[in-house]
Amino acid sequence: MNEKHYSLDELGWKDCFKGQLDTDDTEMIPARVTMTHKGHLVVSTGHSELLLKIAGKGIGSLNEQPTVGDWLLMDRETMVPVKVLERTSLLQRMAPGQEVKLQPIAANIDTLFIVSSCNTEFNLNRIERYICLALEAGVNFVLVLTKEDLTEEAQEYRKQAEHLFESMPIVTINGKDPQSVQSLQKWFKPGETVALLGSSGVGKTTLLNTINGTEKEKTGAIRHGDDKGRHTTTTRSLHVMPSGALLIDVPGIRELQLHDCHAGIDRAFSEIVEAEEMCRFSDCSHEREPGCGVREALESKIITRRRLDNYLKLKEEAEKNTTEIAERAKRKAGKKKKYSRKWKK
């Protein structure tokens, strides 16, 4: 963001947000979260930007942690947030580290750019994780393969990705070339919000610079020996683009653990789900049971062993993480109830 003034529409304000306002909210000021970084948020009302400090696990009376892309209602007098408006979409993951909790990535996304690169970073299993995330959130998604200028095998990478999800658009680009990046412009519509997600060093910041025609963000060269770029983005931030679209850049994701993503996984691996429905037993492990539809599909090459292994891994992971989050919430509720009884005595 910069010092230029924007209307709410230019910040992505839509009827679905306006429709959430009741008579008591008419005195509130809508503001969009444009940056999250190390214990604070930056929000924009279009005419001014405010720095909000996150105290503990939230801000003021808010019972959930806002993330970049969220819309907040601010008290007109104190300019303190009092409500997070219901999101049209939310990308979230299990937080990395030992603590069992969810981490919001970005909210109110219209289109997700899954960014990978045409080198050793390219990983089909990883791309499938992002596809599941997007399908669960209900957002459109595009696979953007960067660094086509550094290889003669760009079309081979594209060919591999074409089998991941039939209707997924795939674009190969040179992120430093404005003419190459022009192929992405059809997704940059005024008022629409696009998010960039991918591993560190795949060229997201370079792509952002080329799209905006700027060099405000630092970019890192590829490390010799492993084709990995240096980590350059350290904050989640929202940018108003020359086209009028809004673009959210997120730091490179090293770990994307899925949570409660069963519908997204089933849609991403629909051919395996269809094969499972042909199994004789509902609890078939697809190992030795007779009448296993999945094994028959493997033998017929309808599905691949790699896809099946990743599907089973993601299903198990999502189930485990969903259970752990539910158990944590149950323990937390039990503690609150215990303390409440003590206070009443």
Specify binding-site residues for GTP.
Answer: 146-149, 198-206
**Annotated binding-site residue numbers for Zn(2+):** 279, 284, 286, 292
Cα distances (Å, whole numbers) of residue 3 to 62, 128, 129, 157: 28, 39, 37, 41
Phi, psi of 329 (to 5 degrees): -65, -35
Distance CA 26, CA 245 (A): 27
Contact between 194 and 109 under an 8 Å Cβ cutoff? The reply is yes
Q: Extract the tokens encoding 32.
A: 């969009």
Burial class, 133, CB count within 10 angstroms (exposed 0-12 / middle 13-18 / buried 19+)? buried
Strand pairing class (90-94; 81-84): unpaired
Decide: helix, strand or coil at residue 113. strand
**Annotated binding-site residue numbers:** 146-149, 198-206, 279, 284, 286, 292
First vs last C-alpha separation in the chain: 52
* DSSP character at residue 58: B
Phi, psi of 93 (to 5 degrees): -145, 170
